[in-house]
Amino acid sequence: MTIKEDLNAELKDAMKARDARRRDVIRMIETEVTLARSAPGFKGEVDDALYRKVIAAYAKKMEKAKGEFEQAGDRGAPMAEKLGWEVEYLSRWLPKKLDEASTAALVRSAIAELGVAGDSKASGRVIGQIMKDHKDEVDGALVNRLVAEALNEG
């Protein structure tokens, strides 16, 4: 079953169950896919790869917004909870990312391979190599932080 078919089935189920949160997030993804498809220069197909790309971009935006609402304290708590739920719900259609320990192991390995331990100016090379080899497996922000920490302490 394609992601589109799965989302359509989920949407029907959400509407029958009167689950507004699920219904709204699925509709938002469909809107984002439509925008991506109608963007100037789009030549691809509407396939699972496009859906994954759109879902990943949407989840990243919502994760960032969630952090901003969390900073607002009690006033932003309900919206932060809603956005957190959306990100968690959509994660089932995204490839699983490595955890912090596994990502740190990749960082240590790349630093050793490049021979740049202690050279904080080499962070771009290390990040570039990790992202080239493991782009879909790692969280870019986490890689960035771990590389900076590793190079500054080495």
Q: Examine the domain organization and report whether 88 and 135 are in the same domain.
A: no
Q: Examine the domain organization and report whether 51 and 81 are in the same domain.
A: yes
CATH code where residue 137 lies? 1.10.10.410
What per-residue confidence (pLDDT) applies to 79? Answer: 95
| Domain closes at, from 49, 76, 93 | 93
CATH code where residue 78 lies? 1.10.1510
Q: Examine the domain organization and report whether 124 and 50 are in the same domain.
A: no
Q: Examine the domain organization and report whether 127 and 69 are in the same domain.
A: no
Tell me if residue 98 falls in helix, strand or coil: coil
Q: Examine the domain organization and report whether 42 and 82 are in the same domain.
A: yes
What per-residue confidence (pLDDT) applies to 24? Answer: 96
Q: Examine the domain organization and report whether 83 and 39 are in the same domain.
A: yes
Tell me if residue 99 falls in helix, strand or coil: coil
What per-residue confidence (pLDDT) applies to 34? Answer: 94
Q: How far is it, in rounded angstroms, from Cα 30 to Cα 16? A: 18
| Domain closes at, from 78, 93, 108 | 93
Q: Which domain holds residue 60?
A: 3-93
Tokens of 110: 């790349």
What per-residue confidence (pLDDT) applies to 32? Answer: 96
Read out DSSP for 29-61? HHHHHHHHHTSTT--S-SSHHHHHHHHHHHHHH
What per-residue confidence (pLDDT) applies to 154? Answer: 55
| Per-residue pLDDT tens digits of the chain, which is 154 residues long | 899 999 999 999 999 999 999 999 999 999 999 999 998 988 888 899 899 999 999 998 998 999 999 999 899 999 999 999 999 999 999 888 888 888 888 888 888 888 888 777 888 888 888 888 887 788 888 888 888 888 887 5
Q: Examine the domain organization and report whether 78 and 140 are in the same domain.
A: no
